[in-house]
Structure 1
Amino acid sequence: MRIASWNVNSAKARLDHITGWLKADNADILMMQEIKSQDENFPHDAFTDLGWHIAVHGQKSYNGVAIASRFPIDDVMNGLPGDDADEQARYIEATINGVRIGNIYLPNGNPAPGPKFDYKLSWMARLYDRAVELLATEMPVVLGGDYNVLPQDVDCYDPAAWVGDALTHDDSRAAFFKILHAGYMDALRALHPSGVHYTYWDYQAGAWQRDNGLRIDHLLLSPEAGDRLTDVGIDRAPRGLEKPSDHTPIWCQLRD
């Protein structure tokens, strides 16, 4: 089973890119972030017409997450537990073909320090609690999405320029690695422990043309999913399309 994640930066604006990628790639599941659409306005038909199932947790103009799947989508949970007052649509979870999928659009957190950074850290604390709960189920679990965290300096084209940013802040990194230390595997680093691998290039200053990228999109696997990991990669091609998302898909392959 091939599981992918892509911050599409507006499902409507990138719809042709998304459906074109689904037709060309052999992905079975696509987690999408920043769909920027309410549930009722999401282009469901574009996916169902291709034979895909879809689950959406949307929000007007901002945020929003969705899961598209070739397989039926069961036991959908909208929102990250732990804060009933949190109205931002940043998390959706479901079971697909025996794998529990958690789709994440983690807060950016800038400026740091400040209220937005406090929200990011509290959100990551809630994510850790949910990640531990999912480990206890002993199901294969994939927690994928836009984490807005640069785990190590190698994941950034110019680490010195990002010192003090919420993406590289020690507290952000510590919260990310806390999830890994609980028992999750960073799928890309499991198979590619060194080297430069980017998933995001800013629209400004020729970042794409200069390959000034960041690795902020991640697939974290529970031991039961990690045992099935056979391949992982980043598809850079969509970032080179006309009017692209500033992110590109990351995927992993799990054997049956």
Structure 2
Amino acid sequence: MKALKIATFNINGIRSRLPALLAWLEREQPDIACLQELKAADQQFPRQALEAAGYACVYQGQPSWNGVAILARGSEPLEVRRGLPGMEDDTQSRYLEAAVHGVLVACLYLPNGNPQPGPKFDYKLRWFECLIQHAQGLYGSGHPTVMAGDFNVVPTDMDIYNPRSWLKDALLQPESRACFARLLGQGWVDAIRHLYPDERIYTFWDYFRNHWARNAGLRIDHLLLNPDLAPYLKRAGVDAWVRNEARASDHAPTWIELGTRRRQT
């Protein structure tokens, strides 16, 4: 295994936040970056600007909403799949797989599900079920694999500043949390929680009610590692400084670093 830094970042509009994205890439230099919520059609994706910055990319855009991309520094990502099995009728761009730097990377933007109950929450749960089924095959594939993205799930009350005002939100519903728990139950390692079992770490701060200034955050961006990749996990963190920049996304990049050798167990 080569040393790698892998990040996930809900950019919340790649065209308007391209300067911020390029500044982050230049400063932090992830080897692989998974992006969500591009809010741009394929023909609007800034491929040339990213290639000029040293990143090749595969992407699945969508006008105004959704959209996912995988960027690779100094390498050409090989697309493996776009869209989840079982969601062939889905018109929303939310899932992309590519082989990059010897790792199988699944970039996902799980549906928000609000308002709930209702059709949007039903769609979230259906999408989640298809992800769980597909993830089982990825987990046992024998290839080093990471599932990275905005899962739109707060796994536990430790992953939110205060659950009381979010109790009706789809991100905290028992059904959403149960799906995430079932996913982890396959054996996936939640990198952030694995390295920081007792710390409150956030990846998202809402634009409203002064959430950023108060550090009233949520942890909804996750990197999950299968057993062929997890032993190489060395470090993990959140580039919270990005959230403090002008015209920032409401998410901050979340990342892991992989070492060249397996940890002793």
State the partner residue of 2:175.
171
Structure 1 position 49, deviation (Å):
0.8
Deviation for aligned residue 1:136: 2.5
- Residue 121 of structure 1, aligned match among 116, 125, 129: 125
- Measured against aligned partners, the alpha-carbon deviations of 1:229-250 in whole angstroms (never above 9, x if no partner) come to 0010011001000110000000
Which residue identity lines up with residue 216 of structure 2 in the other structure?
N
Which residue pairs with 2:41 in the alignment? 38
With the length of structure 2 as denominator, give the TM-score of the two structures.
0.95
Aligned equivalent of 1:47: 50
Runs of 4+ in 1 over 4 A off after TM superposition: none
1:197 matched to 2:172: no
1:251, CA displacement in angstroms? Answer: 0.1
Q: Distance in 2 between matches of 1:55 and 1:126?
A: 22
Alignment of 1:233-248 (within 5 A): 233-248=237-252
Structure 1 segment 7-18 matched on structure 2, within 5 A? 7-18=10-21
| Alignment partners' CA distance in 1, 2:160 and 2:193 | 15
Structure 2 counterpart of 1:214: 218
Indicate the SS of the match to 2:140: helix
In structure 1, C-alpha distance between the alignment counterparts of 2:6 and 2:255, rounded to whole Å: 5
Q: Matches of residues 84-99 of structure 1 in structure 2 within 5 Å?
A: 84-99=88-103
Matched position secondary structure for 1:75: strand
In structure 1, distance between residues paired with 2:79 and 2:89: 22
Return the alpha-carbon distance in structure 2 between the equivalents of residues 171 and 39 of structure 1: 33
Counterpart contact for 2:58–2:79, Cα < 8 Å = no
CA RMSD of aligned residues (A): 0.9
CA distance in 1, matches of 2:56, 2:145: 19
Worse-superposed segment, 67-76 or 209-218? 67-76
Q: CA deviation at 1:75?
A: 3.3
Normalising by structure 1, we get a TM-score of 0.98
Which residue is 2:153 aligned to?
149
Structure 1, unaligned runs of 5 or more: none
The residue number in structure 2 matching 1:61 is: 64
Deviations 1:71-111 (A, max 9, x none): 22113321112121101001111011111100010001012
SS in 1 for 2:172: coil
Name the CA distance, whole Å, in 2 between partners of 1:65 and 1:86. Answer: 14
Question: Which residue type is aligned with residue 103 of structure 1?
Answer: C
Percent identity reads 44
Match status 1:140 vs 2:144: yes
* 1:151 alignment partner AA: P
Distance across 1 between alignment mates of 2:157 and 2:131: 23
Deviations 1:142-163 (A, max 9, x none): 0010000000001111111111
Does the residue aligned with 1:102 lie in a helix, a strand or coil? strand
Tell me the distance in 1 between the aligned counterparts of 2:209 and 2:117.
26
Partners of 2:214 and 2:139 lie apart in 1 by 40
Distance in 2 (CA, whole Å) between partners of 1:49 and 1:142 is: 26
- Residue 263 of structure 2 is matched in structure 1 by none
| Runs of 5+ unmatched residues, structure 2 | 261-265
Q: Which amino acid aligns with 1:67?
A: I
